[in-house]
Amino acid sequence: METLSKDKISLKNKSYQATKVVALTGNPNSGKTTIFNNLTGSRQHVANYPGVTVEIKESRVRNGGRDLKIVDLPGCYSLTPYSKEELIARNFIIDRKPDLVVDIIDLSNLERNLYLTVQLLELGIPIVLVLNQSDLAKRAGLRCDLAKLSRLLNVPVVETVGNRNIGTSQLLDTIWSELSNPRTPRPVIYENDFEEGIRQLCGDLKNSRDSDYPDKRWTAIKLIENDVDIKKRVWRMHPDADALSVLVDSVRRRLTSIYDTDPELAIADQRYGVIAGICRECTSADPRRRRSASDAIDSVALSKTFGLPLFLLTMYVVFHLTFTTAQPAMDFMEYCFVFLSSVLEGLWPEGSQSLLKSLLVDGIIAGVGSVVIFLPNILLLFLAIAVLEDSGYMARIAFLMDRIMNKIGLHGKSFIPMLTGFGCSIPGIMATRTLEHEHDRLTTMLVLPLISCGARLPIYALIIPAFFSAPWQAPVLWIIYITGIALSIVCARLLRSTILKGNQAPFVLELPPYRMPTVKGIFIHMWQKGWMYLRKAGTIILGISIVLWAMSTFPKPPEESLHGLTQEQVTEAEMAYSVAGRIGKAMEPLIKPLSFDWKIGTALVGALAAKEVFVAQLGIVYSMGEADEESESLRDTLRRNYNPLTGFCIMLFCLISAPCIATFAVTKKESGSWKWAFFQFIGLTVIAYIVTFAVYQTGRAFGIGV
Amino acid sequence: MDHVLSPIMEDYIETIFELLRREQVARVSDIATRMKVTMATVTSALRKLSAKKLINYSPYSTVSLTPAGKNLAEKIVRRHEVLADFFQNVLSLPPSKVAENACRMEHQIDDLLLERLVEYIEFVKLCPNMNIKWNEKNGFRCGQDENPKKFISCEDCSKSLARNTTHGGQQMNDSIGLHELKAGGRGRIIAVSLKNPGAKRMMEMGIVRGSLVEVERIAPLGDPIDIKVKGYHLSLRKEEAKNIFIEIM
């Protein structure tokens, strides 16, 4: 490897056609991403949680004038897709037709990993088999005869230790030699009755324009397996779909009667039969059954006595790290931004009315800064999540929590996206891709913004000390967080029993062995998520800050009306006259029953950009100049103008109501339709209105906090 | 809104629906070929359907279904599928007769009859006991249990039957559901029931006949369970484990 270039390469790139494409595939947790990083030098995150590669990552390797594009696919257990990411992986292989597939196998888990391999053999695409983590397997007493395995399947076999970068150059050499001189893998031969059926179907497939699906034999097998996606493709292309459909049905019926079970299950049986044969031929295991370190950890970490307490302790540590440890770093960031804006202000003469200064200081720095100061928070949360994922504990959390999540109507795997949601809803929503069942996935996505994200913290930090005395501050914060969690449970149940009704998705989850997370891996992970957050600050929030600044600056009131007012009164009058002020005023009758006035309304409009903008916006309407959640003068003003009940209602409304624009955009992207994004946006706002209304009116009736 | 259509008109709707599904476009000529009639006949039928607001059609253009039309088409197709299923899997009609009869009958059957048929097909597939009665409260049930208070679910019933009958020449006397195993228990899988939507997934993950399984532990809250199969740890809910029958070793 001499020159390495990373990042996405567009399909339009001219050299694309000439470049050979190599796809990395394998079971989740088999070490694909590590191998990918070794091959390309790229910094892709590697996690020890099944299903982390949620997007296709590409990277280029240039080696002696030859060009190679390496693609890291999401992990899959089979070429019959169950989850969205498995479909992504499968469709990449059959649509983009890579020149070579590198199948990465966890040697210590050979049998199950070979299940995917035998299906890949059927595709007729050249394959390189990589036996990864061979050191662990050897330590566990497993030996594998590579030459024999290679002979049996007619594919080259390479041994690697991914996390120590052993075998990478040999793998690269094998890839090159296989590309210049490809072998045809030897497919599995099934029992006679199956082969008979496959032959029948192959005969019929011959006549079709078969560019939309790969190898005939593979397609025939998928039709027998009743693969819906493949069926659709074939039906679309085939000249006489009816006849073929009848033929497929009759073949399936015959096989069903012979095997007394569905053909797809019978075929799985046979594949595992073949695999057992391969393993007998090629491997020898040390008969002493070793109790692995991983099992020993689990006997404590998942035990009846310690399982839940350890889990709760872990959660406590995660939150402590995120919210308490991060505080000094946050203070420092804040100091930096205050310093930056004072430097910028110094460039203009005192009391200048320059629009550019106002845009920079009140618009961009105030808006973007308020997001960026949360970076330490977010980074530490992601650090914690990275450790949990890479070590393998995350899958255990799903295991421990499934009972509860199941009661709520969700899946054990929903817990991880929800947990991430405490940091930021966006990566949380993206993490729902690991959920196999569409309804589980949508439900998790829709209720996720109810989990109070880090961006809402500045609002609480401003309001709580303003209205509540010290002993009450922590409980009030707790109430807010718990309200969010409780509402997400109620909403999830409601969704699952109404519009997203349907069977519970099965909970079939691999518990990978524990592994010591590597520092490099964790920092790559943390940096990637942190970068995503910063990018949001740099793009969406920057843009919206400018728009909001313009909205609260223009139009300017006529000069004569400001005559004789103090500087503060001028700012306030200007705000009232601006677009944002007018929206706030227009909203006032609507939000009056929630005890909110137009000033809060204006700030709520700002909160759409990012929740924390609420604080800055409130500062502006109260002509405090640059305000933040530590601003005592703003707190005093709030105390004078509102009562604690209103303060509580503000927090409640900010917690529940429409998520920020970035979350809205991600929901649209991940759910694939505007419908769900709008449903979430409007639904949450309506719930927020109802809940806040009820709380305020009840509180007022009983005279609590007024 | 209920449209009362003649069988032939329903056939048109069905044909258009099929064409749209397969080829994304329904042309008059294609409809004519499929229905084995002239283009003029098709055109006049399409006008009638268009008047009933079931399709969007104007001369010389392609045809599409309105939401009401699509709804109706889906209903007809479902009727066809249910009937075909019944003829094929319950009555064991030869395949050539299945489609023919289903096509004839799909126009005549109403919703109640259809739903009853569906229940019946499902019941027959599940229950090996042939003493079948309909009962207002529980739907189709085997006559074994007239007293609804004594009612046990079909699932439990077929399981207890499975224990006492032979399967594939192998005695299943000792078979139990995987969920009945205690932590530390081991067994060999002898059958996987297909009722569970996750059955296929489980089989691909190595839960196949002959595999050894060991229940490593049960989650602190009682569900799911952690099993070892083919040398790795897999977590399953008890609900899913119920469908895996094992013999204790």
Span A267-273, mean pLDDT? 87
At B196, the pLDDT band (50, 70, 90 cuts) reads low
At B162, the pLDDT band (50, 70, 90 cuts) reads low
Identify which of A491-495, A569-573, A671-675 has the greatest average pLDDT. Answer: A491-495
Span B76-104, mean pLDDT? 83
Q: Is A286 touching B (CB cutoff 8 A)?
A: no
B90, B97, B233, best to mutate vs chain A, most A CBs in 10 Å:
B233
- What's the pLDDT tens digit per position in A164-179? 888 888 998 899 888 8
CB contact under 8 A, B237 and A402: yes
Give the separation between CA B60 and CA A357, rounded to whole angstroms: 64
A641 has pLDDT over 70:
yes
A625 has pLDDT over 60:
no
At A690, the pLDDT band (50, 70, 90 cuts) reads very high
Residue of A nearest to B233 (CA): A511
CB atoms within 10 A of CB B249: 11
Give the separation between CA A399 and CA A510, rounded to whole angstroms: 10
- What's the pLDDT tens digit per position in A528-544? 777 877 776 677 767 87
Report residue A370 CA to chain centroid gap. 24
At A354, the pLDDT band (50, 70, 90 cuts) reads confident
- What's the pLDDT tens digit per position in B123-153? 776 665 555 666 666 666 665 555 544 555 5
Q: Is B52 touching A (CB cutoff 8 A)?
A: no
Give the separation between CA A216 and CA A221, rounded to whole angstroms: 9
Domain-located, residue B52: yes
Strand pairing report for A127-132 and A100-106: parallel
At B165, the pLDDT band (50, 70, 90 cuts) reads very low
Give the separation between CA A48 and CA A369, rounded to whole angstroms: 34
Domain-located, residue B159: no
B208, B226, B243, best to mutate vs chain A, most A CBs in 10 Å:
B208
pLDDT at B129: 57
Residue A176 has φ and ψ, to the nearest 5°, of: -60, -45
How are the residues of chain B apportioned to helix, strand and coil, as percentages rounded to the nearest 5? 45, 20, 35
B170 has pLDDT over 50:
no
Contact predicate A87/A15, CB 8 Å? no
- What's the pLDDT tens digit per position in B35-65? 888 888 888 888 888 888 888 888 777 788 8
Give the separation between CA A614 and CA A46, rounded to whole angstroms: 36
Q: What is the mean pLDDT of chain A?
A: 81
Half-sphere exposure of A280 (CA within 13 A, CB side): 6
A236 has pLDDT over 70:
yes
> What own/partner pairs with CB < 8 Å and gap ≥ 24 does A465-474 have?
A465/A635, A466/A635, A466/A636, A466/A638, A466/A639, A466/A647, A467/A638, A467/A639, A467/A642, A467/A643, A467/A644, A467/A647, A467/A648, A467/A705, A468/A644, A468/A647
pLDDT at A6: 35
Burial A167-177 (b: 16+ CB within 10 A, else e): bbeebbebbbe
pLDDT at B157: 59
Residue A665 carries which side chain, given as an amino acid letter?
Answer: A
Residue A3 carries which side chain, given as an amino acid letter?
Answer: T
At A310, the pLDDT band (50, 70, 90 cuts) reads very high
Span B26-33, mean pLDDT? 86
Q: Is B205 touching A (CB cutoff 8 A)?
A: yes
Residue A352 carries which side chain, given as an amino acid letter?
Answer: S
Domain that holds residue B49: 1-108
Interface of B with A in 214-233 (CB under 8 A): 216-217, 219-224, 226, 230-233
The contacts of residue A336 (CB under 8 Å, 6+ apart) are none
Identify which of A30-44, A333-347, A355-369, A440-454 has the greatest average pLDDT. Answer: A440-454
- What's the pLDDT tens digit per position in A2-31? 333 333 333 334 444 467 889 999 988 888
A520 has pLDDT over 50:
yes
Residue with token string 């970035």: A662
Of the two residues B234 and B123, the one the predictor is more confident about is: B234
pLDDT at A13: 41
pLDDT at A585: 86
pLDDT at B133: 65
The contacts of residue B108 (CB under 8 Å, 6+ apart) are B7
pLDDT at A631: 64
Report residue B134 CA to chain centroid gap. 20
Structural domains in chain A, sorted by start: 3-180 (3.40.50.300), 192-285 (1.10.287.1770), 293-555+574-706 (no CATH)
DSSP conformation class of A571: H
Residue of A nearest to B207 (CA): A269
> What is the residue-wise DSSP string for A153-172?
HTS-EEE-BGGGTBSHHHHH
Span B201-220, mean pLDDT? 86
- The percentage of residues in chain A with a pLDDT greater than 90, rounded to a whole number, is 12
Q: Is A514 touching B (CB cutoff 8 A)?
A: no
Number of domains in chain B: 2
Q: For residue A138, give the nearest of A153, A167, A168, A160 by alpha carbon.
A: A160
The sign of the CA dihedral A441, A23, A527, A609 is negative
Residue of B nearest to A309 (CA): B220
Q: For residue A504, give the nearest of A436, A447, A445 by alpha carbon.
A: A436
pLDDT at A664: 85
> Nearest CA of chain A to the CA of B49: how many Å?
25
| The last residue of a domain, from among B78, B108, B138 | B108
| The last residue of a domain, from among B66, B90, B108 | B108
Q: Is B60 touching A (CB cutoff 8 A)?
A: no
pLDDT at A290: 52
Q: Is B169 touching A (CB cutoff 8 A)?
A: no
CB contact under 8 A, A508 and B235: yes
Burial of B74 (0-12, 13-18, 19+ CB in 10 A): middle
**CATH classification at residue B205:** 2.30.30.90
Domain-located, residue B206: yes
Report residue A432 CA to chain centroid gap. 6
A134 has pLDDT over 80:
no
DSSP conformation class of A1: -
At A207, the pLDDT band (50, 70, 90 cuts) reads low
Domain-located, residue B228: yes
A107 has pLDDT over 80:
yes
A130 has pLDDT over 90:
yes
- What's the pLDDT tens digit per position in A376-425? 877 887 788 788 888 889 889 889 988 888 888 888 888 878 887 887 78
Domain-located, residue B19: yes
When CB atoms are compared, the residue of B196, B206, B220 closest to A304 is: B220
Give the separation between CA A104 and CA A437, rounded to whole angstroms: 26
Half-sphere exposure of A671 (CA within 13 A, CB side): 25
Contact predicate A468/A671, CB 8 Å? no
CB contact under 8 A, A506 and B192: no
Give the separation between CA A448 and CA A485, rounded to whole angstroms: 9
B166 has pLDDT over 50:
no
Domain-located, residue B217: yes
The contacts of residue A673 (CB under 8 Å, 6+ apart) are none
- The percentage of residues in chain B with a pLDDT greater than 90, rounded to a whole number, is 2
When CB atoms are compared, the residue of B23, B88, B232 closest to A112 is: B232
A292, A397, A508, A510, best to mutate vs chain B, most B CBs in 10 Å:
A508
Alpha helices in chain B (DSSP H): 7-23, 28-35, 39-51, 67-85, 95-105, 111-126, 154-164, 199-204, 238-241
Contact predicate A104/A26, CB 8 Å? yes
Span A226-255, mean pLDDT? 84
Q: Write the CA distances from A315 to A415, A475, B224, integer angstroms.
A: 12, 18, 21
Q: Is B212 touching A (CB cutoff 8 A)?
A: no
Q: Write the CA distances from B21 to A244, B5, B62, B73, integer angstroms.
A: 16, 22, 14, 11
The packing angle between helices B7-23 and B28-35, to 10°, is 120
The helix/strand/coil state of B58 is: coil
Give the separation between CA A384 and CA A407, rounded to whole angstroms: 27
Residue B213 has φ and ψ, to the nearest 5°, of: -130, 150
| The last residue of a domain, from among B86, B108, B130 | B108
At A650, the pLDDT band (50, 70, 90 cuts) reads very high
Task: Record the tokens describing residue A35, joined without a space.
Answer: 């191998």
Span A252-267, mean pLDDT? 84
| Helices vs strands, H then E, count in chain B | 9, 12
**CATH classification at residue B95:** 1.10.10.10
pLDDT at A65: 67
CA B162, B163, B164 angle in degrees (round to 5)?
A: 95
Of the two residues B110 and A633, the one the predictor is more confident about is: B110
| Residues in chain B, total | 249
Q: For residue A543, give the nearest of A670, A700, A367 by alpha carbon.
A: A367
A450 has pLDDT over 90:
yes
Span A658-664, mean pLDDT? 82
Q: How far apart are the first and last CA of chain B?
A: 61
Domain-located, residue B38: yes
When CB atoms are compared, the residue of B22, B211, B219 closest to A400 is: B219
When CB atoms are compared, the residue of B230, B231, B236 closest to A508 is: B236
A682 has pLDDT over 70:
yes
Q: Write the CA distances from A633 to A627, A629, B2, integer angstroms.
A: 9, 10, 68
Give the separation between CA A49 and CA A392, rounded to whole angstroms: 6
Domain-located, residue B115: no
